Amino acid sequence: MDKLEATEAARLAPRGETWRTVADGHKKSVRAIQERARQKRLRYLLYTNLVILAYLGKRLLEGHPVAFGLPHLGADAMLWLFPVILIVMMGGVLLLPLASGRSPHIKFSPEEIGIGFADVRGIDNVLEEVTRTLQIFLTYKSFRDELGGNPRRGILFEGRPGTGKTHLAKAMAAEAGVPFFFVSAPAFPSMWHGMTAMKIRRFFKTLKKAARKHGGAIGFIEEIDAVGASRGGGVDASTEYGGGASSVLRMVSPGSEGMVNELLVQLQSFDSPLLGGRIRNWFVDIANLLMRPEHRFKKSPPDYSNVLIVGATNRAEALDAALLRPGRFDRTLYFDLPSRSGRRELIDYFLTRRAHTAEMDREDLREELASMTLGYSPAMLEHVLDEALVWSIRDGRRALTWRDVQQARLSEEIGLAQPVAYTERERRLIATHEAGHATAAYLCAKERKLEVLSIIKRRQALGLLAHSDLEERFTKTKSELESTLKVALAGMAAEEIFFGESGTGPSSDLAAATALVAQMVGLYGMGDSLVSYDAVNNGGHSAPNIVAKVLSTDAGKNEVDGILKSHKDQIAYLIEINRHLVEALRDALIDHEELLGDEILSVLRKAGAAHPNRHPVTAGA
Ligand SMILES: Nc1ncnc2c1ncn2[C@@H]1O[C@H](COP(=O)(O)OP(=O)(O)OP(=O)(O)O)[C@@H](O)[C@H]1O
Ligand SMILES: [Mg+2]
Lowest mean pLDDT among 76-85, 355-364, 586-595: 76-85
Lowest mean pLDDT among 50-59, 271-280, 443-452: 271-280
Please indicate whether residue 238 or residue 217 has the higher confidence score (pLDDT): 217
CA-nearest residue for atom 9, ligand 1, is: 164
By the 8 A CB rule, do 292 and 149 touch?
no
3-state secondary structure 67-128: CCCCCCCCCCHHHHHHHHHHHHHHHHHHCHHHHCCCCCCEEECHHHHCCCHHHCCCCHHHHH
pLDDT at 269: 67
Residue nearest to atom 27 of ligand 1 (CA): 161
Per the model's pLDDT, the better-predicted residue between 117 and 250 turns out to be: 117
How far is the CA of 244 from the CAs of 229, 232, 239, 253, 327, in angstroms? 20, 12, 9, 15, 34
Residue 117 has pLDDT above 80, yes or no: yes
Which strand (E) or helix (H) includes residue 168? Answer: helix 165-176
| pLDDT for res 247 | 39
Query: Residue whose CA is closest, atom 16 of ligand 1?
Result: 164
Which has more pLDDT, 551 or 271? 551
Which of 124, 167, 170 has most ligand 1 atoms within 8 Å of its beta carbon, as the pocket-test mutant? Answer: 167
Give me the pLDDT at residue 597, please: 78
Measured CA distances, 281 to 115, 270, 300, 305 (Å): 43, 17, 6, 19
pLDDT beyond 90 at 348: yes
Question: How sure is the predictor about 101, in pLDDT bands with cuts at 50, 70 and 90?
Answer: confident
80-89, 107-116, 380-389, 395-404: lowest mean pLDDT where?
A: 107-116
Give the rounded percent of residues in the chain with a pLDDT score beyond 70: 83
CA of 343 to the centre of ligand 1 (A): 13
pLDDT of residue 431: 92
* Mean pLDDT of the 250-258 span: 48
User: What pLDDT score was predicted for residue 241?
Assistant: 37
Nearest-CA residue for atom 8 of ligand 1: 164
Ligand 1 neighbours, Cβ below 6 Å, are: 119-123, 159, 161-167, 312, 314, 346, 349, 378-379, 382
Q: How remote is the CA of residue 382 from the centroid of ligand 1, in Å?
A: 9
- Does position 86 have pLDDT exceeding 90, yes or no? yes
Please report the pLDDT score of residue 77 as a whole number: 77
pLDDT higher than 50, residue 237: no
The more confidently predicted of residues 497 and 615 is: 497
What band does 564 get if pLDDT is binned at 50, 70 and 90? Answer: very high
Q: How would residue 539 be classed by pLDDT, with cut points 50, 70 and 90?
A: low
Mutate which of 115, 117, 166 for ligand 1 pocket (most atoms within 8 A of beta carbon): 166
Higher local confidence (pLDDT), 486 or 301: 486
Q: Which atom of ligand 1 is nearest to the CA of 223?
A: 27
For the chain, give the mean pLDDT: 80
pLDDT given for residue 24 in this prediction: 57
Q: Which ligand is nearest to the CA of 182?
A: 2
323 or 53, greater pLDDT: 53
How remote is the CA of residue 120 from the centroid of ligand 1, in Å?
Answer: 9
Ligand nearest to the CA of 314: 1
Name the residue with the closest Cα to ligand 1, atom 29.
167
Question: If we measure between CA atoms, which residue out of 455, 355, 356 comes closest to residue 410?
Answer: 455
pLDDT of residue 268: 73
Mean of the pLDDT values across residues 595-605?
86
Rounded to an integer, the average pLDDT of 143-172 is 83
Q: Is the model's pLDDT at 104 over the cut of 90? A: no
pLDDT value for 389? 92
393-406 per-position pLDDT tens digit: 988 888 899 989 98
Of 496, 485, 416, 393, the closest CA to residue 448 belongs to 485
| Distance of alpha carbon 260 from alpha carbon 319, whole angstroms | 9
3-state secondary structure of 196: helix
Give which of 445, 440, 432, 434 is closest to 574, Cα–Cα.
440
Structural domains for the chain: 3-60+100-231+257-270+303-335 (3.40.50.300), 340-413 (1.10.8.60), 422-610 (1.20.58.760)
Q: What is the mean pLDDT of residues 357-378?
A: 87
Mean pLDDT of 320-343: 85
Q: Decide which of 577 and 19 is more confident.
A: 577
CA 27 to ligand 2 centroid distance, Å: 28
Ligand 1 centroid–CA 168 distance in Å is: 8
pLDDT of residue 349: 93
Give the range among 161-175, 369-383, 445-459 with minimum mean pLDDT. 445-459
Q: Which ligand has the shortest distance to the CA of 221?
A: 2
Out of 264-278, 427-441, 489-503, 510-524, least confident range = 264-278
pLDDT tens-place string over residues 17-53: 444 455 555 566 667 777 888 888 889 888 888 888 8
Task: Please give the residue that has the higher pLDDT: either 99 or 282.
Answer: 282
193-206 pLDDT, tens digit per residue, is 777 888 888 888 88
pLDDT at 99 over 90: no
**Ligand nearest to the backbone CA of 167:** 1
The Cα 22–Cα 57 span in angstroms is 52
| 18-24 long-range Cβ contacts below 8 angstroms, 24+ apart | 19/135, 22/135, 22/139, 22/142, 23/135, 23/138, 23/139
Q: Dihedral sign, CA of 274, 276, 282, 285?
A: negative
Q: By three-state DSSP, how is residue 331 classified? A: strand
| Rounded CA separation 40/172 (Å) | 27
| Closest Cα to atom 4 of ligand 1 | 120
CA of 180 to the centre of ligand 2 (A): 14
* pLDDT at site 609: 61
Residue 563, pLDDT score: 93
The per-residue pLDDT for 232 is 60
Predicted local confidence at residue 535, as pLDDT: 83
What average pLDDT does the segment 456-467 reach? Answer: 78
User: DSSP code of 186?
Assistant: G
Give the ligand with the smallest distance to the CA of 168: 1
Predicted confidence band of residue 243 (pLDDT cuts 50, 70, 90): very low
Going from the Cα of 166 to the center of ligand 2, the distance in angstroms, rounded, reads 4
